[in-house]
Amino acid sequence: MPRIKIKRTAPSVDMTAMSDVTFLLLNFFVMTAVFKAPEPIPVDTPASITTEKIPDENFAMITISNDGKCLLSIAEKDVKEKTLEKIANKYSIALTPEEKEKFMALETLGVPLRQLKQFLSLPSDKLMDKAYNPGIAVDTTTNLSNELFNWISAARTINYQLHEKQLQILIKADANVKFPAVGQVIETLRNQKANKFSFITSMKSEV
């Protein structure tokens, strides 16, 4: 009796469900990704082996460029707004609603207060230009001349009033910056008893 041959067919897998899952995951990562904000002055941070992540909220970051310029970022919008109001009042700077709105859109501030109104009148594409960000005035005093001291002091006070938390201070210094510039910032923090702060570094590659 002849043997019956069974026709063999290649197995097929319906990939429709897998494609749906892939697109859902892609959408999730795109919608939840946090993009790095552009910086007016790029900073090349030193390398280290620390694995502690930068916080997502409740912090102020002081950036120090390789030529010693200081810039400031405040994470919380409400703290940033109230801090601006306090500083503008302290230095007798009258800001229009349009200027305040433009300030709030900034990720990083890098101008002395005497130039703030002129800076906020610039076109938006000029605000991130290094040439228009000469840095915040900083020295080792606690006077009005040390504008970084007053920005940080106001932000710490406002943050505690609004959120009942101590503001985390981060320092992002360029690897090539000279120590006196970093020393002035550290002294500015110590003068207001802000002795707990963190340095931002990049991951050290394994050799």
Reported as a single tens digit per residue, the pLDDT across 114-132 is 999 999 999 988 998 999 9
User: What pLDDT, in 10s, does the model give residues 153-163?
Assistant: 999 999 999 99
Band (pLDDT 50/70/90 cuts) for residue 12 is low
Q: What is the pLDDT of residue 46?
A: 73
Residue 170 parent element (H or E) = strand 168-173
CB-based contacts of 147, cutoff 8 Å, min separation 6: 112, 113, 136, 137, 138
Nearest one of 200, 145, 179 to 66, comparing CA atoms: 179
pTM confidence score: 0.79
Residue 134 has pLDDT above 90, yes or no: yes
Check residue 106 and give its pLDDT: 93
What is the DSSP code string of 55-111? PSSSEEEEEE-TT--EEEEES-HHHHHHHHHHHHHHTT----HHHHHHHHH-S-B-S
In this structure, the number of other CB atoms found within 10 A of the CB of residue 66 comes to 16
Q: How far apart are the C-alpha atoms of 77 and 104, rounded to whole Å?
A: 7
**Spatial distance between the Cα atoms of 156 and 89, rounded to a whole number of angstroms:** 17
* Tens-digit pLDDT profile for residues 35-71: 555 677 777 777 766 667 888 889 999 999 999 999 9
The three-class DSSP label of residue 171 is: strand
pLDDT value, residue 207: 47
Look at residue 29 in the predicted model and tell me its pLDDT: 63
For β-strands 168-173 and 47-48, DSSP reports them as unpaired
Per-chain mean pLDDT for the chain: 86
Of 53-62, 92-101, 198-207, the one with minimum mean pLDDT is 198-207
